[in-house]
Structure 1
Amino acid sequence: MTVTIENGQLIAKIAEKGAELQSLQSRDTSREYIWQADPEYWGKHAPILFPIVGALKDGRYRYEGQEYELPRHGFARDREFTVIEQTQDSVTLQLVADEATRTVYPFDFALNVHYELGGEGLQVRYEVHNPSQKELFFSIGGHPAFNVPLEDNLTFEDYYLAFSPMKSRIELPLSGNFIDMSQRTLGATNTNLRLTHDLFQNDALIYETKGLTSVTIASEKSPHSVRVAFNDMAYVGIWTPYPKAAPFLCIEPWAGVADTTDATGELTEKLGIQKLAPGATFRTKYAIIVK
């Protein structure tokens, strides 16, 4: 099932499977900003990454002496969520732990995903609640993919990325699917970054982020753009598949990140892992602003 929310400017569609944003359109022009999941390139729109972000070494982790397996980016994107609240311009979907999740992830949790339209954008809010009597360890992130180009007469290479604030950030290179901390460098996010597919020949670009951050996809040849803004995410990933010349780009705010090349496999020691006390609730959000 798919839920539709709308206001005077925008219409958004969200699937109950994975609580995945599937469409964000201008009401006036019908311009579609979200990638429409052509399987020739990548068959998803904007999956939610939970309870891990990225890949685990050997696809496994350990917790309290037991070993578990999780696929890359976790399981939330493949689970059915329940709509628990809906208005004309907002919806909240929920996933709670069950017998199936506990076999691969031995924690109780309630994950709420809230979408709300306002003005020229869509706010996406994540809430993770720990109903148990033990600490909850998790990561969470967004993976929205945007059409690039946003106009038929332009190309991927006509666009650039603009970072705000315009300053250098630590870049975390990947070695295979894993972060190689020994190769950390200073990323050139203090200037606009012209898009080419060759930028992604080593997979995603990953940057450390602190405080209010935004990343904009824009072109000098068009008034139309997409900006992703967030305040409480420690990392952002930017990705399009390589070597395919795919007509989309993902901007992914993350509260967590893939395993490092020297990861121990212990969940509690994982880079970027969130630790939530019994009875507590973790909250974070990001916004998609379109023109």
Structure 2
Amino acid sequence: MIELKNDALRVQINEHGAELSSVMSVDDHLEYLWQADPKFWGRHAPILFPIVGRLKDDQYRLNGQTYHMTQHGFARDMDFMVVEHEDDHAVFQLNATAETKAKYPFDFDLRVTFELDEHTLSVHYTVTNPSSDETLPFSIGGHPAFNVPLIPEEGGFENYSVTVAPKKTYPQIPLNGPYNDVQHEKMLNLTTPMVLDHDLFDRDALILDLDHVETTLLLSTQLNDHGVALTLQNAPYVGIWSPYPKRAPFVCLEPWWGIADNVNADGEFLNKMSLQLAAPQSAFNAGYQIRFF
């Protein structure tokens, strides 16, 4: 377990999956991050790579060959190498192996950087394509889960809300089973805070189309001064999720550079919706920040 620390926060990151596992305030020992109780969901904040969401029948075709890959890809279940570590930052690296190439036949260099600055944790993804002649297609995303309520003695799930800035009505991409159904896009009015209710997630995640506009999601309650604010600079989507029908005491705010297969996907990987493309010997960069208060 790798630890970052300053006067405000102590952060723990597991080399397995480069998964953020704890964010605790130094003053009052408040744990912000979901602690992976398998009764509800046995993860904290997995990294989604090289796909976000699910493929049609957990498979795809590329150059006439069929490959199998399960939901959210394989990075979350692999051990990363720690290539840098100081009190205020750490860099984790994952490269292609024979195991990954059986599912995803590309060379890649994935680096995840965590940087702590006062009450803010920044997460940065760099996906480098080492090939000299082949484009690297992929998706990537985050899946951090936050305790709701943050203080169990002070209120419950329905006492919390998610406020989105800019305040406006957002295109919402519904899910039909595990697949996106953008053909039946809805509109979600977020000009006022969205009060949390487990029934919001009866069709899985709420997916907002951000159109790469800088967006902040504030998870908070009127019962105390604690909460989290997640800011994305250039993401096409953000997912808001809590498992249903379980009444789980957490909510995920998920920055995505990719999305599950469309209901009408033809199975060809290069036709996949919202695929990112890294040119030969170039790098893709993305990230987000979480402020804890």
- TM-score for both structures, normalised by structure 2: 0.98
Distance 2:233 2:168 in 1: 16
Residue 89 of structure 1 pairs with residue 88 of structure 2: yes
Aligned with 2:263 (options 261, 264, 271): 261
Q: Deviations over 1:145-198 (max 9, x none)?
A: 000001122100000110011111110000000011221011112221010000
Structure 2 unaligned segments of length 5 or more: list them.
none
Aligned pairs, number? 290
Specify the alignment match of 2:161 in structure 1. Answer: 160
The percent identity for this pair of structures is: 46
Tell me what 1:131 maps to.
130
Aligned mates of 1:224, 1:181 — CA distance in 2: 35
Which SS does the other structure have where 2:52 is aligned? coil
Aligned equivalents of 2:12, 2:104: Cα separation in 1: 29
**Structure 1 unpaired stretches of 5+:** none
Q: Which residue of 2 aligns with 1:219?
A: 221
**For each residue in 1:31-72, what CA deviation from the matched residue of structure 2 results, as whole angstroms up to 9, or x when unmatched?**
000000000000000000000000000001111111101100
Match of 1:45 in 2: 44
Distance 1:59 1:235 in 2: 21
How far does residue 119 in structure 1 lie from its aligned partner after superposition? 1.6
Alignment counterpart, residue 275 of structure 1, candidates 270, 277, 287: 277
Q: 1:178 matched to which residue of 2?
A: 179
Structure 1 consecutive aligned stretches of length 4 or more whose deviation exceeds 2 Å: none
**Residues 109-161 of structure 1, C-alpha deviations (whole Å, 9 max, x = no match):** 00000001012110000000000120000000000000000112210000011
One-letter amino acid of the counterpart of residue 126, structure 1: Y
Give the aligned partner of residue 103 of structure 2: 104
2:247 corresponds to: 245
Q: Measure the CA separation in 2 of the matches of 1:206 and 1:234.
A: 10
* Alignment partner, residue 151 of structure 1: 151
Residue 58 of structure 1 aligns to a residue whose secondary structure is helix
Give, as a single letter, the amino acid of the residue that structure 2 aligns with 1:255. Answer: W
- Name the SS of the counterpart of 1:217 in structure 2: strand
Provide TM-score, normalisation by structure 1.
Answer: 0.98
- 1:192 to 2:203 alignment: no
